[in-house]
Structure 1
């Protein structure tokens, strides 16, 4: 299911759940003295902001192309995914700093309160994860938001374990230890999202078989050579492709069927959604696939 099918009601429900969890955990953290619980509350507050941002980006990204944005607004979701990933890392660094300070200055913690509040947080996070799961496999934006919720669920599990240990053993250093473990895990899961969104924003080439593409295009009747190839991604779904091809000196009406065949090939075999082809006769015959000398730009 595509991210566009994730309804505004689901986003609203997840946002309200995260706000509720945040309030409950802030109160519980202050009453129990648990850093893990307070850090989870801060994390949930960040999640609420990221979910709202993700929803806004989804609405903006669905807007059609126009004269000002000829490729549409799909990059809005990529930007939101990047910001969400960076927010996860920033929160994690904050948690680690606070946990280290707590190691140096241990404080008494009320285990039972910590445990009850963490269980409430876990239930709410699991409900949120179920609401977002259907769109998490096809959109980086939804995946980033979904990851926020899952990391919160993991954090809640860690806090539950900590609450059990503190309740029965009074070993309070388990609280900052769990905080650090959760923070490291969050960074580990956030990095692939940051890496891919940056790659898309930098217009890095998608992972497709360029030699095979050249072989298939040249195999089309009439095509002599392929050069000056460019490929990039608007979002994680749509690949943009442009190339120059060398043809015999034929009429334009004979060129158009070749264009259509190339477009069909690239779309069906390589999942390339937008294709721009420039036909030439002799110009560029000596160029390689990616060879674009400055004097020929």
Structure 2
């Protein structure tokens, strides 16, 4: 585990240094060549440098063990970082589209040769950074957001190279802001799902699941007579939590525990649920809905108040 953390730290450090270096090169090259797409790529890389630092800090925080303050651990630090980085990309894309629109109406002279040299250097650095982060991006939303930053930089560099060729060969300076707009739209399109998924997790949203199938599977277990008050939510993109009230025939606690283990195995293997909390009941709640709604919750409160008066 320590080796894994160290390797991740080395990757983040290497990628940060690459991005910081290429940001400086592209900013200088963009100013002297007059290329908006190079300047926009430099801004993009500057944003990536900050996002990589944020991602690394969030990654380290997420490694902390559960404690009294956060009994589910600190994994959501990476979700917050992913959402922040994706939002940063979207805001940056809007800014680039506005600047590109200005250039379309007021074209400027561009040094295509200098633009090409800087873009090739940027492509090499961005591609190296994306390769470094690719492996960790498969199962981690935070690293995926960082990888998306780097991948979009690589695509942007390819676009800048194409624009430089068009300017050198045909003197079509308008291609520069057009490429900027295309890349900005692509970045926004790829970033929005990360924002949406992050919000879903932070709002304790549930993944797409067949609740009727879950109930049917649980009801097929011998000893269970009903399932109600089901709650499913995500702690992060890899951990799904489950809680439910289950009606069971009257039995000893030692008889109920094997049923609990059977439920846990079923939910883990078939539905990918990693944490299960169950409340066993005999007849209480047997006629209640699978998912508790506000009207039913008010009925329960009224019923409880009536029982307390008795």
Tell me if 1:91 matches 2:92: yes
Offset at 1:84?
Answer: 0.8
Shifted more, 284-293 versus 15-24: the winner is 284-293
1:228 and 2:241 correspond: no
Residues 143-186 of structure 1: per-residue CA shift (max 9 Å, x gap): 10000000000000110011111112222111111100110010
Where does 1:154-193 land on structure 2 (aligned, <5 Å)? Answer: 154-193=155-194
Residues 248-292 of structure 1 deviation map (CA, whole Å, 9 limit, x = unaligned): 222222222211111111112211011000001111111121134
Equivalent pairs, count: 295
Deviations, residues 11-68 of structure 1 (Å, cap 9, x unaligned):
1000000000000000100110100000000000000111111111111111110000
Question: CA contact under 8 A between 1:21 and 1:44: conserved in structure 2?
Answer: yes
Q: Which aligned pairs between 1:204-283 and structure 2 lie closer than 5 A? A: 204-283=205-284
- Is 1:32–1:109's contact at 8 Å kept on the other side of the alignment? yes
Give the match for residue 56 of structure 2.
Answer: 55
2:136 maps to which residue? 135
Residue matched to 1:197: 198
User: 2: CA distance between counterparts of 1:4 and 1:187?
Assistant: 31
Counterparts of residues 2-41 of structure 1 (less than 5 Å): 7-41=8-42
1:294 corresponds to 2:294: no
Q: Secondary structure at the match of 2:250?
A: coil
Distance 2:6 2:270 in 1: 26
Shift of 1:218: 0.9
Alignment of 1:72-91 (within 5 A): 72-91=73-92
SS at match of 2:224: coil
Unaligned runs of 5+ in 1: none
Deviating beyond 3 angstroms after TM superposition, the runs of 4 or more aligned structure 1 residues are 3-6
- Please, what TM-score do these two structures have when normalized by structure 1? 0.96
Distance 1:204 1:6, change over 3 A: farther
CA distance in 1: counterparts of 2:161 and 2:98, whole angstroms:
21
Q: Aligned pair in 2 of structure 1 residues 206, 4: CA closer, same or farther (>3 Å)?
A: farther
Counterpart-to-counterpart distance in 2, 1:53 and 1:277: 37
The CA deviation at 1:6 is 5.7
8 Å CA contact retained: 1:6, 1:135: no
Root-mean-square deviation over aligned CA pairs: 1.3
| 3-state SS, counterpart of residue 88 of structure 1 | helix
> Hey, what's the Cα distance between the residues in 1 that align with 2:136 and 2:6?
7
Give the whole-Å Cα distance in 1 for the aligned partners of 2:219 and 2:75. 32
Counterpart-to-counterpart distance in 2, 1:254 and 1:145? 49
Moved more, 242-251 or 19-28: 242-251
C-alpha distance in structure 1 between counterparts of 2:221 and 2:140, whole Å: 34
* Residues 268 and 4 (structure 1), Cα distance of their counterparts in 2 relative to 1, 3 Å cut: farther
Deviation at 1:223, TM superposition (A): 0.4
Question: Is contact 1:22-1:42 (8 Å) kept?
Answer: yes
CA distance in 1, matches of 2:255, 2:229: 22
* Cα distance in 2 for residues equivalent to 1:251 and 1:154: 63
Q: What is residue 285 of structure 2 aligned with on the other side?
A: 284
In structure 1, how many angstroms separate the alpha carbons of the residues matched to 2:190 and 2:31? 29
Distance 1:160 1:248 in 2: 71
Distance 2:153 2:179 in 1: 13
